[in-house]
């Protein structure tokens, strides 16, 4: 009993300190210092919640930019089923999936596109929820989106340029565009 009481007291103290007080303090600080990020980086159109800039959404109509394929099930970009496909680069299932995605992109109005299809348009990210595509991936879709919306390609390209995010610290990764933000900007042009 001599050892049991201090051990129980330590467990109770650590549970209170690290399980209740610490999370409340960190949550409070994050809500004060980074309110948008602490709330999930949510995007609204007026008072209507559209989504989060951190989780991809599935777009399939020709008038919207398409994001990366999602590896989540049962529906694309299912946040509760986050995870990659776990298919290696030489797995025939992955190669078939990439080939199918390339054919779908080309069938939807990009058969005349020069060069290779950007890899991020035909492969899922590690989480299966990636909200961003490369600038090359967005530019690959300009002709289709402009044609579907009856816009000049230069106007669509200008939106990409305006919404482009620089690499992390200017050197890590590549420039990217958030697909949901880009599509929201396109939709706001209609009105």
Residues 6+ apart with CB under 8 A from 12: none
pLDDT at 43: 84
pLDDT at 46: 82
pLDDT digits (tens, 9 = 90+) for 150-170: 999 999 999 999 999 988 888
CA separation, residue 85 to residues 60, 89, 178 (Å)? 20, 11, 22
The DSSP output letter for 20 is I
Residue 127 has pLDDT above 90, yes or no: no
pLDDT at 110: 56
Element (H, E) at 132: strand 132-134
Element (H, E) at 184: helix 179-190
From first CA to last CA, the distance across the chain in angstroms is 74
Give the percent of the chain with pLDDT over 90. Answer: 35
pTM for the full predicted model: 0.77
């Amino acid at each position: 009993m001599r050892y049991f009481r201090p051990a129980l007291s330590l467990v109770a103290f650590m549970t209170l300190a690290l399980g209740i007080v610490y999370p409340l303090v960190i949550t409070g600080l994050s809500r004060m210092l980074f309110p948008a990020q602490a709330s999930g980086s949510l995007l609204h159109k007026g008072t209507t919640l559209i989504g989060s800039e951190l989780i991809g959404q599935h777009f399939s109509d020709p008038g919207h930019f398409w994001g990366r394929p999602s590896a989540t099930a049962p529906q694309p970009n299912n946040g509760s089923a986050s995870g990659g496909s776990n298919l290696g680069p030489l797995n025939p299932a992955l190669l078939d999936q990439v080939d199918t995605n390339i054919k779908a992109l080309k069938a939807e109005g990009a058969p005349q596109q020069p060069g290779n299809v950007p890899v991020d348009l035909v492969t899922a990210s590690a989480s299966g929820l990636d909200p961003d595509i490369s600038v090359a991936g967005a530019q690959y879709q300009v002709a289709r989106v402009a044609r579907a919306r009856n816009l000049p390609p230069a106007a669509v390209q200008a939106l990409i340029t305006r919404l482009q995010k620089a690499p992390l610290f200017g050197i890590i990764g590549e420039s990217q565009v958030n697909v949901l933000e880009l599509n929201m900007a396109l939709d706001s042009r209609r009105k």
